Amino acid sequence: MEVVINKKEILDELAAKEIIELVKRKPNANLGLATGSSPVGLYEKLITDHKVNKTNYKFVKTFNLDEYIGIPIDHEQSYHTFMYKVLFKHLNINLKNTNFPKQDDPKSYTVLLKNNPIDLQILGIGSNGHIAFNEPGTSFDSTTQYVDLAESTIKDNSRFFDSIDDVPKKAVTMSLKDIMMAEKIILLAFGKNKAEAINQLVNGEKTEDCPATILQTHPNLTLFIDEDAASLL
């Protein structure tokens, strides 16, 4: 794995450049995308580039990592809505080419991903080491599935809801195995509350107690992390 430590602004720029170069080289690229606050700066860079340089997303397909269960996909805090607001509506992307794991049919995502291998996967990481919504204890062999969110994830994500009681307790997530199939992975992590999870990922043993440690054996993984997230390395 490659670890790049720099200021967030610079890392957002570098990550955006990777996507832009890929889309220019391969106009029908399959992009794996993440929600959460970590990729928002990168998405802003893509939007600016699209406005200025007209990078074309018409033939790109996107595959998001996860979605809540228990709220409709048009809910203001659903990941469908989040992606539309922070990225999709600003690019010339065909919404028919944007994909999420299905709330009523999780298994179909694994088949879809087999038929559409991801060229570049953008990832965040939970403070407890989760990736997508694969919480600690998830089997490394599981397939796209329903999951119960960890207490710490519900707490972390409550900042987006009026109260912690409004945070869904369940989700549907791309599996660890599916994530590992991506040709290239860029993981973004910023801030002190990610330091422990990043330290586990880089220096810890590979264990289902910290789902992100599965990435240790990915052949093409780059971590883009700031000084705070790197502070325990």
Query: Which of 30, 64, 97, 128 does the annotation list as catalytic?
Result: 128
The nearer residue to ligand GLP, 140 or 160, going by C-beta atoms, is 160
Cα–Cα distance, 167 to 169 (Å, whole number): 6
Q: Is 67 a catalytic residue?
A: no
CB of 157 to ligand GLP, least distance (A): 6
Q: Is 227 a catalytic residue?
A: no
Query: Which of 135, 156, 178, 226 does the annotation list as catalytic?
Result: 135
CB of 133 to ligand GLP, least distance (A): 5
The nearer residue to ligand GLP, 94 or 158, going by C-beta atoms, is 158
CB of 190 to ligand GLP, least distance (A): 8
The nearer residue to ligand GLP, 11 or 65, going by C-beta atoms, is 65
Single-letter amino acid code for the residue at 146: Y
Query: Which of 12, 66, 156, 178 does the annotation list as catalytic?
Result: 66
The nearer residue to ligand GLP, 13 or 56, going by C-beta atoms, is 13
Query: Which of 30, 50, 64, 130 does the annotation list as catalytic?
Result: 130
Q: Which positions touch ligand GLP (CB under 6 A)? A: 34-38, 65-66, 124-126, 132-133, 153, 157
CB of 21 to ligand GLP, least distance (A): 23
Residue 100: other Cβ atoms inside 10 A:
21
The residues assigned a catalytic role are 66, 128, 130, 135
